[in-house]
Amino acid sequence: MTSLVSDPTLLPSPPDAAGTAPVPAPPSAAVTAPAGTPETAGRAASPRRRAWRGAAARITVSLSGVFLLALLVAALFPGLLTRQDPVAVTLGVPLSPPSAGHPLGTDEAGRDVFSRLVHGAGASLGIGFGATLIAVVGGALVGLIAGLGNRLVDGFFMRAVDCLVAVPDLLLAMIVITVSGAGVVTALVAVGVAGIPSVARIVRAQTHQVRVSPYIEAARILGLSRTTVALRHVLPNAFRPLIPAVALRIGGAIGAGAGLSFLGLGAQPPRPEWGAMISTGRNFLVNDPLLVLWPALAITLTVLATGTLGRALKRRLEGRDLA
Amino acid sequence: MRALALGRVVARRALSGVLVLWGAATITFAALHTVKGDPALVLMGGEEANPSPEALAAVREEYGFDKPLWVQYGIYFSRLLHGNLGDSYQQHRSVLSAIGIQLGPTIVLALSTAVVAVVLALAVALATAGRGPTVAGAVNAVTTVLSSVPGFVLGIALLFVFSALLPILPSAGNAGAASLVLPVVTLALPIAAHLVQVLQPELDEVLEQPFILTARTRGASVASTKIRHALRHCLMPIATMTGFVVAGLLGGAVLVETVFSRQGLGRLATAAVSNQDLSLVLGVVLFAALVFVLVNLAVDVVYSLLDP
Amino acid sequence: MSTVLSEPRNGLRDAGARDATPGNAPLVEVDGLSVSFTTAGSRLTVVKDVSFSIRPGTVLALVGESGSGKSVTSRSLIGLAGAGARVEARTLKVAGRDALGLSEKQWRGVRGKDVGFVLQDALASLDHLRRVGAEVEEPLRLHSGLTRAQRAERVLELLGRAGIPDPASRVRQYPHQLSGGLRQRALIASAIANTPRVLIADEPTTALDATVAAQILRLLGGLVGEEGALLMVSHDLAAVASIADRIAVMNDGRIVEEGPAEAVLQDPQDPYTKRLLAAVPSLASRGRRLSDEPPAASGWAASAWVAAGTPAPGAAEGSATATPRAEGGHAASGIEAAGDAAGAALLELRGVSKSFRGFDSVTRPVLRDVSLRLHRGETLGVVGESGSGKTTAARIALGVEAADEGLALVGGVPWADVPRAERERVRRGVQLISQDPLGSFDPRYTVGKVLAEPLAAVGVRGAAARLRAAELLDLVRLPVSTLERRSLQLSGGQRQRVAIARALAVAPSVIVADEPVSALDVSVQAQILDLFADVRREYGVASLFISHDLGVINHVSDRVMVLSGGEVVESGGAEDVLRHPQHPYTRELLAAIPRLDARRGAGEPEGRIS
């Protein structure tokens, strides 16, 4: 609900402590002897605790993976998971509790909740993946151009990006929707475009950093051509932080899409979509809170799952293990 | 000497801000002209509203739709500079006054949220920094969950618990401080969670620095080093997060006001979209951009004053 | 057995200000100190059964390399050994207090009051967001009970005591606005604020230029009065030599030798101490190996250099360059200048000047009219302190930066004018080894890939490349298993060896080495310097060797060039310049080298190197 797709943990990490000057630096520690502030060095948990944490981390990652896989199946082949028609109105049994035919009960119009949930996965995941794709492709391009270009080019593109940032994502989405009408596709485009600035910033910062890295210079000194160095060293390293960023962004995009649908600006009824289900279910909150609970849970778990996978990826790429 | 440097910084940021506003205004201008059909008709609410031909003609005259594009651009900007954001057909008043009416509650909400979020984040980050990986892991888990739950879901959950189950807080309305509690909490928690996620690793890094050890060798306690030394080093990450916080507030306000049925700019905007009241939507957007730029400018200036 | 110092002693404690220690009881008494940590499930003992004592009015130096446990030992004396540390000892008395089993609260009463602690590198050890005055005031605020006005006065007094001129203006400044030496003095001022009885200094002169370091050492020595004691922790034997009364050498957590400074330095008993002393490079160590490592295996790809045109070992100067295209697919990579006779320089700078625009948009000249020539097979040592422009000069000679004025030539041809077809080959002929090689490796690459890249650049791929990579590792004395490892997993010395291997992979004629050993321990430094010597002896590679450390320059160079403030102040053959310096700056630099026999007394004849 906060800025729809900006995730500040994706901000480029602060630059390392000032590089060593040509003045003598202290001899590098060869062994594990605690250096620097002794306070946190050596403060490791007991081996049992570490094993616990490692196992817990592995379990959460696996669970997330399984959950997302199930969602994918739901999105692509909903028929596998439910027979009920999500928009079929069963007369006479609105708001009924879970039963044999309706594992999660029915909603206010007598439709099967479970099947609406399953079919809604398609819309939500669609917005999530689609918007992320737009944000990543657009952002990477802009960020790369800005990062590789000279000051003018850089300045121009970053100002343009700043304009996008100045308008809160939700409001930007609203403009798009006012202009083109509500619907899943417009929501997708809106969320996607709103996500371009953060990606662009990350890529640009990373490109800048890589450009002046000593290993780029070392490669040039070896006699490699500019193109070879760019393709072999600059690009892969510049895009490295993007991979976990993509995973993390998907969750945010899904939440954003649900938010738009909640406001009535995304998926239109009777199309099942989690945000919209929450919106209608809200009216019956006192009578049948479960109506809101299931889609809310679905959204939350999805965002958590993608987030967990994204963070695990990030840790893996940064060289730390899961524990 | 410092005043000169400061003046230069302010000037540069202000220029940047102006450029951004100009860009945002251009976006809105473009939006205006990408609508299908006759823009004058759209501005008057579309075919359903069935505006009179005189009204249509008046709008065309005002915006200069019959003139060449670049002239329209100029007219648009000159109107903007005069504070004329157009008229809301739905409300039958100027966009500016429509915004003015709804501004109050939103400002109250935004300011309270900002204060709560920042204070909460600082407190949590400072209390839990440098205490080892277990604590850090727990904090990380909590903040991950909090920042993953979409705000409106959190709002409804809180609403359910504190309003329906345990009727201690009002579920709707603008009356008094009590009605502010749930909305502020809903908005502030995810923002604070994000802030903590950024602050925590920064703080951990700061606490490893040699100057913290130096303070300890002088006899300072751990708490003292955090408050007297580390805190100041947190301010920069918070300053860089300003944009995020403001954007979060503006965007989040929309959802929160809907969930809690509060008056405010958010509801205004949502209604405008539903009614296809284009000028109102664009007006709110521009206003949001203005706020964003001003707040960022203010924070930048304050930060420059503090940075040695 | 006090040292002879030229400055009057001011004393950490004013005589009679507190109750004097009865008799000559030691101010620091440590017996059987052991410190261990639990990391990753295993217990690591870092300090093993260490015992020493420091009597009033004396200076004890604790010397060792990284990992020796010296820092942990010193920090145990103020209860900051580290979180999770288990500190055990039979006796632990500091400043007359029994320190065993003190609670954290009690320790806070000791730190900054009875014991002062000075860390290295004041830039990182002072809070850069606080003014200098505030930093110096902190211990006063915590312990002294003075009013704010009184504290402010005392701060000025302390800054003056620490030798800072015009303290009133410095008080309001931030640490980064002071020079390195002044910063360190400010740090010292904050440590002596409450006139502690014991002062501990952990590597106080690292990160400082030699001339400044000498002054700081004198300051520290001068602060020890009749009543105070100084424990100085350092990795640099020579640095402590000038002020230490006693020296304790630590290795792997234990004290391997301890005794009066002269005895330890002139007549060491322990083999580790002997090795450590032998590893220090200087003019006296020229021509001999510094470490115990056997000479690097010869024979590796001597063919590569034959192909490149570098004369084979022992060949007469000026032998004509041999076959341009190689055996085994090795492309020639040497620099073959037109008419490359013995006299032509491989690298040359002619009247080079360069300026940079700083953050404040002020243009500062970094180099002024600098000229140098590097000939085949020789090592030119470029020495200067920080800011002298030596790195910039090296980068211009390397061809990676352009000069504002003047020419940078490679093989007699300006870098910019090298014909396109030759560019790659010429470029490969000059390689760079920098101070921190970690940044020069692609973070994604294993060592194997790091070496494969240059080999591929000279046309060696596949199985042949793997073979060559193994040979290269063998040459730099690294096990073949290193190929699988990532650069982050290697130690500083190992990384530097990989950097050397990579540079050699393209068979260069010149290696530009920018402070290659500055970040290394003395013993590792010795090994790397020996490796350089081997490479040079075997393959005749010329070297532009940059360092601030005059001892290292003394050891490796054939010719020497001294830079100061961007200008060449002196140059010539190494022995000449170093034994008979002409320029006052060179003399000053030489005088500032800490000497192992500095304790012999004042009045050393100028220019004498130990």
Structure confidence by residue, pLDDT tens digits, C425-467: 889 999 999 988 888 999 889 999 999 999 998 888 889 889 9
C515–A27 CB contact, under 8 Å: no
The distance of Cα B290 from the centroid of its chain, to the nearest Å, equals 11
Residue found by looking up tokens 């006005």 in the block: C149
* For B207, nearest residue in chain C (alpha carbons): C127
C329: left (phi over 0), alpha (psi -120 to 50) or beta: left
Contacts with B65 (C-beta within 8 Å, 6 or more apart), sequence order: B39, B40, B59, B72
Residue C301 has what pLDDT?
56
Beta bridge partners of C40: none
Q: What is the pLDDT of residues A6-32, one digit of tens each?
A: 444 444 333 322 222 233 333 333 322
| Intervals of chain B under pLDDT 70 | 1-2, 36, 45-49, 171, 173-175, 308
Higher pLDDT, C30 or B171: C30
CB contact under 8 A, A8 and B19: no
**Do the Cβ atoms of C61 and C224 come closer than 8 Å?**
no
Distance to chain A for B47, nearest Cα, Å: 14
Confidence of residue A263 (pLDDT cuts 50, 70, 90): confident
Q: Are C256 and C51 in contact (CB under 8 A)?
A: no
Cβ contacts of A32 on chain C, cutoff 8 Å: 39, 44
CB contacts of C139 in chain B (<8 Å) are 218-219
ipTM score over 0.90, yes or no: no
Identify which of C73, C72, C63, C71 has the alpha carbon closest to the alpha carbon of residue C273.
Answer: C63
Prior bond of A98 cis (ω within 30°): no
| Predicted pLDDT of residue A91 | 57
Q: By the 8 A CB rule, do C108 and C92 touch?
A: no
Report whether C430 contacts C399 (CB < 8 A).
yes
Residue C512 has pLDDT above 70, yes or no: yes
A5-14 burial, b at 16+ Cβ within 10 Å, e below that, comes to: bbbbbbbebe
Q: Best residue in C444, C445, C509 to probe A by mutation, most A CBs within 10 Å?
A: C444
Q: Tell which of B207, B257, B273, B291 to mutate to test the A interface (max A CBs under 10 Å).
A: B273
pLDDT number for residue A46: 60
Closest B-chain CA to C104? B221
- CB proximity B109 to A under 8 Å: no
| pLDDT, tens digit, 9 for 90 and up, residues C297-344 | 655 555 565 545 444 333 333 333 333 333 222 223 344 433 344 457
Give how far Cα C403 sits from Cα of A245, B14, C366, C380, Å: 41, 37, 11, 20
CB A203 within 8 A of CB A139: yes
Contacts of C199 (CB under 8 A, 6+ apart): C12, C115, C116, C117, C118, C191, C192, C220, C223, C224, C228, C229, C230, C231
User: Span C264-278, mean pLDDT?
Assistant: 91
Interface of C with B in 44-83 (CB under 8 A): 78, 80, 83
Mean pLDDT of all residues in chain C?
83
Mean pLDDT of chain A: 75
Do residues C220 and C188 make contact, with C-beta atoms less than 8 angstroms apart?
Answer: yes
- What is the bridge-based pairing of β-strands C542-547 and C379-383? parallel
Using a CB–CB cutoff of 8 Å, tell me whether B272 touches chain A.
yes
Place of tokens 């817990």: A56
pLDDT at C605 over 60: no
| Section A164-192 average pLDDT | 80
Residue pair A122/A74 in contact by the 8 Å Cβ criterion = yes
CA distance A120 to A283: 20
Subunit partners of chain B (3 or more CB pairs within 8 A) = A, C
**pLDDT tens per residue, range C345-361:** 889 999 999 998 877 77
Q: Whole-prediction pTM value?
A: 0.80
CB C470 within 8 A of CB C503: no
A217: contact with C, CB 8 A cutoff: yes
For residues A249-274, average pLDDT: 83
Residue A275, both tokens: 């945000």
What is the average per-residue pLDDT within C407-414?
Answer: 89
Hey, is the C-beta of B219 within 8 angstroms of any chain C C-beta? yes
Joined tokens for residue C397:
């000679």
**CB C277 within 8 Å of CB C596:** yes
Task: Please indicate whether, in this complex, the C-beta atoms of B217 and C110 are within 8 angstroms of each other.
Answer: no
H/E element, B242: helix B242-259
C138 inside 8 A of chain B by CB: yes
A219 chain-C contacts, CB cut-off 8 A: 442, 453
Pick the residue from chain C with its C-alpha nearest to B131: C83
Q: How far apart are CA C240 and CA C561, in angstroms?
A: 28
B219 vs C110: CB contact, 8 Å cut-off? yes
For residue C415, how far is the Cα from the chain centroid? Answer: 32
Q: In angstroms, rounded to a whole number, what is the distance separating the alpha carbons of residues C483 and C191?
A: 47
pLDDT at C92: 93
Taking the C-alpha atoms of residue C193 and residue C237, their distance in angstroms, rounded to an integer, is 28
Q: Does C113 touch chain B (CB under 8 A)?
A: yes
Q: What is the mean pLDDT of residues C117-123?
A: 90
* Bridge pairing between strands C246-251 and C59-63: parallel
Contacts of A1 in chain B (CB under 8 A): 150-152, 154-155, 186-187, 190, 251-252, 255-256
Taking a C-beta distance cutoff of 8 angstroms, is the pair B252, A2 a contact? Answer: yes
User: Does B219 sit within 8 Å of C129, measured CB to CB?
Assistant: no
DSSP codes, C133-155:
HHHHHHHHHHHT---HHHHHHHH
Q: How far apart are CA B284 and CA B251, in angstroms?
A: 11
Contact B210 C139 (CB under 8 A): no
What is the tens place of the pLDDT at every residue in C376-404?
Answer: 889 999 998 888 889 999 999 998 999 99
How confident is the model over A295-316, as pLDDT tens digits? 888 888 888 888 888 888 877 7
Rounded to the nearest 10 degrees, the angle between the axes of helix C132-143 and helix C148-161 is 120
Query: Per the CB < 8 Å rule, is A171 touching B250?
Result: yes
Q: What is the predicted pLDDT for the residue at C158?
A: 93
Q: Is B85 exposed, middle or buried (0-12, 13-18, 19+ CB in 10 A)?
A: buried
The reported pLDDT for the residue numbered C302 is 55
- pLDDT computed for residue C499 by the predictor: 95
Shortest distance between the Cα of B39 and any Cα of chain A, in A, equals 10
Per CB-CB distance under 8 Å, the chain A contacts of B292 are 165-168
Query: Tell me: the pLDDT tens digits for A101-146?
Result: 677 777 777 777 888 888 888 888 888 889 999 999 999 999 988 8
pLDDT(C72) > 60: yes
% of chain A with per-residue pLDDT over 90: 7
| pLDDT number for residue B213 | 93
